[in-house]
Amino acid sequence: MASIEYQGRRLELAPGETVLDGLLAAGVDAPHSCRSGHCRTCVARALDVAPPAGSQEGLKDSWRELGLFLTCRAVPTEDMRIAATDDLGLEVGATVTAVERLSHDVVRLRLETDEPFEHRGGQFVTLVRVDGLARSYSTANVPGRDGFIELHVREIANGAMSGWIARELKPGGRVAVRGPEGECFYVHGRPEQPLLLVGTGTGLAPLFAILQEALAHAHSGRIVLLQGAVDERGLYLVDELRALAKLHPNFEYVRCLLRGEAQEGIEIGAIDAILRARIPALRGWRAYLCGNPELVFDLRKKVFLGGANSKEIHADAFVMKAPALAR
Ligand SMILES: Cc1cc2nc3c(=O)[nH]c(=O)nc-3n(C[C@H](O)[C@H](O)[C@H](O)COP(=O)(O)OP(=O)(O)OC[C@H]3O[C@@H](n4cnc5c(N)ncnc54)[C@H](O)[C@@H]3O)c2cc1C
Ligand code: FES
């Protein structure tokens, strides 16, 4: 049985227990959200031994070299000392410059960081509140062009962070950002390659960044964006996207609804069926899939089976808070 030492306390872990579960069971207010290795909010630092197998998967090299690891993926096989990451300077302070409604449940948040924050539009950042509450959000704009970070946040019922952002956060408010992470960003080169962008809800955020970046770089291949929602109320940025489609003949914008009436630009049905009908063979396509986790995991398989190369399928599943586990 392994133990961890954290802030001068030694905690015994049950066999197979993760570091995160051990910390939470001991009453430590350890930051976390998805508990499944997707959101990166639970990162901590190993001080004396190498992080447990698999707990550094997907982290950038500079973080791995610092001994950072995901506590929700870490099942230690030997005793280890760990620390929080607050003193490592991973976070950059930021001031809120705008909070505005994009739809009944989506707000646009704009942030200006105190120092340059290198990232590619579409990557996700960890947004950290002053009290340490942390959640991941995808960037939705072209950073080099705009000079700020834009996030699209869907307000979730009883959501600690999204509720606070939508209802309490105001211009002038202070937060911090950490990251960036993720592989959903526009890759330069091969401007003739067709691009498939599929997302539901605020899965549109990274796709909007990728689309703008591609168009700004005169991407000449076909670009197809499928924006999915249950009904029209679940859509946002419709006017902006329609305007872009008018301006760029290689960009096709399709709204995919489960409920409603089919009309120009709107198709009714499951998004995967609409995709199959529109693009029966995906060989040679580069695909970006973002948003609802079940949809992203399912579409990833289908896009691969449709002929896309697995290395050309980029996905960010917005895995949210998982229920606490009983010890
Ligand atoms: C890589 C990544 C990128 C993301 N990008 C965005 C983005 O661009 N925009 C965006 O709006 N969100 C995004 N998210 C989701 C975001 O990080 C938060 O999870 C979301 O905003 C909810 O946080 P919250 O604190 O408001 O809700 P929480 O307080 O964490 O949870 C709210 C409620 O949801 C319930 N819940 C949610 N999921 C589950 C589940 N699986 N099982 C059980 N209960 C559940 C909880 O019980 C809780 O009551 C992203 C997530 C990831 C991992
Ligand atoms: S990555 Fe560990 S809680 Fe999300």
Say if CB 267 and CB 253 are below 8 A apart: no
Ligand 1: atom nearest CA of 135 is 17
Residue 323 pLDDT > 70, yes or no? no
Q: Report the C-alpha gap between 284 and 300 in whole angstroms.
A: 15
pLDDT tier at 325, thresholds 50, 70, 90: low
Among all bound ligands, the one having the nearest atom to the CA of 18 is 2
Q: Report the C-alpha gap between 117 and 87 in whole angstroms.
A: 18
pLDDT at 60: 87
Residue 289 pLDDT > 80, yes or no? yes
Q: Measured in angstroms, how far is the CA atom of residue 125 from the centroid of ligand 2?
A: 13
Q: What is the pLDDT of residues 34-63, one digit of tens each?
A: 999 999 999 999 999 999 999 999 898 889
Q: What is the pLDDT of residues 76-95, one digit of tens each?
A: 999 999 999 887 888 999 99
Give the percent of the chain with pLDDT over 90: 89
pTM, to two decimals: 0.93
Q: Which domains does the chain have, with CATH numbers?
A: 3-87 (3.10.20.30), 90-181 (2.40.30.10), 195-317 (3.40.50.80)
Q: Measured in angstroms, how far is the CA atom of residue 267 from the centroid of ligand 1?
A: 28
Among all bound ligands, the one having the nearest atom to the CA of 159 is 1
Give the percent of the chain with pLDDT over 70: 98
34: Cβ below 6 Å to ligand 2? yes
Q: Report the C-alpha gap between 275 and 74 in whole angstroms.
A: 38
pLDDT at 200: 95
pLDDT tier at 209, thresholds 50, 70, 90: very high
